[in-house]
A and B are shown apart, each in its own frame.
Chain A
Amino acid sequence: MRILISHRTEYRFTEPQARVVQLLRMTPDSHLGQNIVDWRIEVDCDARLKSRRDGFGNIVSMLYLEGPIERIGLSVTGEVLTEDRAGVVNGAANLLPAGVFLRPTELTTANAAIATIGAPHGINGSDPLGCAHSLCDEIHERIACTADRSTDMRSAAEILEAGAGCSMDMAHVLIATARAAGFPARFVTGYLSDDDAAPQQRHAPHFWAELHIPDYGWIGFDPARECCPDEHYVRVAIGLDYRDAAPISGARIGGGHEVLRVGVEVSADADGQLQTQN
Chain B
Amino acid sequence: MAIERAFDEIWGSSATREGRPEFAALADWISSTPPAELDRRQKAAEAAFRQLGITFAVYGEEESAERIIPFDIVPRIFTKSEWSNLSEGLVQRVEAINAFLADIYGARKILKDKIIPEELILGNPQFRPMLDGAKPPHGIFAHICGIDLVRTGPGEFWVLEDNARTPSGVSYMLENREAMLRLCPELFEMFPVQPIDSYPDSLLETLQSVAPRPAGKPVCVLLTPGHFNSAFYEHSFLADSMGIELVEAADLEVDDDMVWMRTIEGRVKVDVIYRRIDDDYIDPLVFKPDSLLGVPGLIAAYMAGNVALVNAPGTGIADDKAIYSYMPEIVKYYSGGEAKLPNVETYRCREAGALQYTLDNLDKLVVKLVDGSGGYGMLVGPTATKAQIEEFRAALIKEPQRYIAQPTLALSTVPTLTDSGVAPRHVDFRPFVLSGSKGVTITPGGLTRVALREGSLVVNSSQGGGTKDSLILAGDA
- Residues on A facing B (Cβ under 8 Å): 19, 21-23, 48, 50, 52-56, 60, 62, 64, 66, 95-97, 99-100, 102-103, 239-240, 243-244, 249-251
With A48-B255, A102-B119 known as contacts, the answer to whether A21 contacts B129 (CB < 8 A) is no
Q: Which residues of B contact A50 (CB under 8 A)?
A: 256-257, 300, 304
Q: Check A97 against B130 for contact (C-beta < 8 Å).
A: no
Q: Check A23 against B285 for contact (C-beta < 8 Å).
A: yes
Interface segment out of the listed B120-128, B157-165, B219-227: B120-128
Q: Please, could you name 15 A-B residue pairs with CB atoms under 8 Å apart, sorted by A?
A: A19-B253, A21-B254, A21-B296, A23-B285, A48-B255, A50-B304, A55-B128, A56-B132, A62-B297, A96-B129, A100-B122, A239-B130, A244-B130, A249-B284, A250-B296
Bound state CA distance, A107 and B129, in angstroms?
16
Q: Check A23 against B132 for contact (C-beta < 8 Å).
A: no
Q: Check A48 against B256 for contact (C-beta < 8 Å).
A: yes
Does B390 touch A at the CB level, under 8 Å?
no
Q: Which residues of B contact A21 (CB under 8 A)?
A: 253-254, 285, 296-297
* Chain B positions 82 through 125: 1 when the CB is less than 8 Å from some CB of chain A, otherwise 0: 00000000000000000000000000100100000011001111
Does B68 touch A at the CB level, under 8 Å?
no
Q: Which residues of A contact B458 (CB under 8 A)?
A: none
Bound state CA distance, A179 and B401, in angstroms?
18
Give the contacting residue for A99; candidates B122, B128, B130, B133; CB below 8 A.
B122
* Chain B positions 362 through 373: 1 when the CB is less than 8 Å from some CB of chain A, otherwise 0: 000000000000
Q: How far is the CB of B103 from chain A (nearest CB, A)?
A: 13
Does B474 touch A at the CB level, under 8 Å?
no
Q: Check B122 against A102 for contact (C-beta < 8 Å).
A: yes
Give me 17 other A-B pairs in contact (C-beta within 8 A), A56-B130, A99-B122, A239-B130 excluded.
Answer: A21-B253, A21-B297, A23-B297, A48-B255, A48-B256, A50-B256, A50-B300, A53-B133, A55-B131, A55-B132, A62-B257, A64-B297, A102-B122, A244-B130, A249-B284, A249-B286, A251-B297
With A23-B285, A250-B285 known as contacts, the answer to whether A52 contacts B303 (CB < 8 A) is yes
Bound state CA distance, A171 and B129, in angstroms?
20
Q: Check A55 against B289 for contact (C-beta < 8 Å).
A: no
Bound state CA distance, A249 and B118, in angstroms?
31
**Which residue of the partner chain A has the closest CB to B111?**
A97
Q: Which residues of B contact A250 (CB under 8 A)?
A: 285, 296
* Chain B positions 252 through 266: 1 when the CB is less than 8 Å from some CB of chain A, otherwise 0: 011111000000000
Does B472 touch A at the CB level, under 8 Å?
no
**Which residue of the partner chain B has the closest CB to A61?**
B300
Q: Check A243 against B289 for contact (C-beta < 8 Å).
A: yes
- Residues on B facing A (Cβ under 8 Å): 108, 111, 118-119, 122-125, 127-134, 253-257, 284-286, 289, 296-297, 300, 303-304
With A23-B286, A23-B300, A64-B297 known as contacts, the answer to whether A103 contacts B131 (CB < 8 A) is no
Ranked 4 nearest A-B pairs via Cβ? A55-B132, A251-B296, A99-B122, A55-B130
Q: Which residues of A contact B119 (CB under 8 A)?
A: 99, 102
Q: Which residues of A contact B124 (CB under 8 A)?
A: 103
Give the contacting residue for B133; candidates A95, A240, A244, A251; CB below 8 A.
A95
Bound state CA distance, A60 and B132, in angstroms?
14
Give the contacting residue for A96; candidates B132, B134, B296, B303; CB below 8 A.
B132
**Which residue of the partner chain B has the closest CB to A97?**
B122
Q: Check B303 against A97 for contact (C-beta < 8 Å).
A: no
Bound state CA distance, A52 and B111, in angstroms?
26
Bound state CA distance, A99 and B116, in angstroms?
14
Q: How far is the CB of B437 from chain A (nearest CB, A)?
A: 24
**Which residue of the partner chain B has the closest CB to A251?**
B296
Q: Check B129 against A100 for contact (C-beta < 8 Å).
A: yes
With A55-B132, A56-B130 known as contacts, the answer to whether A99 contacts B257 (CB < 8 A) is no
Q: Check B284 against A251 for contact (C-beta < 8 Å).
A: yes
Q: How far is the CB of A256 from chain B (nearest CB, A)?
A: 17
Bound state CA distance, A99 and B132, in angstroms?
14
**Which residue of the partner chain A has the closest CB to B125?**
A103
Q: How far is the CB of A98 from chain B (nearest CB, A)?
A: 9
Bound state CA distance, A239 and B131, in angstroms?
12
Q: Which residues of B contact A48 (CB under 8 A)?
A: 255-256
Q: How far is the CB of A219 from chain B (nearest CB, A)?
A: 20
Bound state CA distance, A19 and B133, in angstroms?
29
Q: Check B285 against A64 for contact (C-beta < 8 Å).
A: no
Q: How far is the CB of A92 from chain B (nearest CB, A)?
A: 15
With A53-B133, A240-B129, A243-B289 known as contacts, the answer to whether A103 contacts B123 (CB < 8 A) is yes
**Which residue of the partner chain B has the closest CB to A63?**
B297
Q: Which residues of B contact A64 (CB under 8 A)?
A: 254-256, 297
**Which residue of the partner chain B has the closest CB to A248?**
B285
Q: Check A99 against B304 for contact (C-beta < 8 Å).
A: no
Bound state CA distance, A181 and B228, in angstroms?
43
Bound state CA distance, A66 and B255, in angstroms?
9
Q: Which residues of A contact B118 (CB under 8 A)?
A: 97, 99
Bound state CA distance, A208 and B85, in angstroms?
56
Q: How far is the CB of B204 from chain A (nearest CB, A)?
A: 30
Bound state CA distance, A198 and B134, in angstroms?
43
Bound state CA distance, A23 and B285, in angstroms?
7
Q: Which residues of A contact B285 (CB under 8 A)?
A: 21-23, 249-251
Q: Which residues of B contact A99 (CB under 8 A)?
A: 118-119, 122-123
Q: Which residues of B contact A19 (CB under 8 A)?
A: 253
Q: Which residues of B contact A244 (CB under 8 A)?
A: 129-130
Q: Which residues of A contact B304 (CB under 8 A)?
A: 50, 52
Q: Which residues of B contact A103 (CB under 8 A)?
A: 122-125
Q: How far is the CB of B370 from chain A (nearest CB, A)?
A: 14
Bound state CA distance, A193 and B304, in angstroms?
34
Q: Which residues of B contact A97 (CB under 8 A)?
A: 108, 111, 118, 122
Q: How far is the CB of B234 from chain A (nearest CB, A)?
A: 28
Interface centre among B130, B131, B304 (most CB of A within 10 A): B130
Bound state CA distance, A50 and B306, in angstroms?
13
Q: Which residues of B contact A240 (CB under 8 A)?
A: 129
**Which residue of the partner chain A has the closest CB to B284?**
A251
**Which residue of the partner chain B has the closest CB to A65?**
B255
**Which residue of the partner chain B has the closest CB to A60?**
B300
Q: Which residues of B contact A96 (CB under 8 A)?
A: 129, 132
With A243-B289, A249-B289 known as contacts, the answer to whether A95 contacts B255 (CB < 8 A) is no
Q: Which residues of B contact A249 (CB under 8 A)?
A: 284-286, 289
Bound state CA distance, A97 and B108, in angstroms?
10
Bound state CA distance, A66 and B256, in angstroms?
11
Bound state CA distance, A246 and B124, in angstroms?
23
Interface centre among B111, B119, B123, B296 (most CB of A within 10 A): B296
Q: Which residues of A contact B289 (CB under 8 A)?
A: 243, 249
Bound state CA distance, A265 and B9, in angstroms?
76
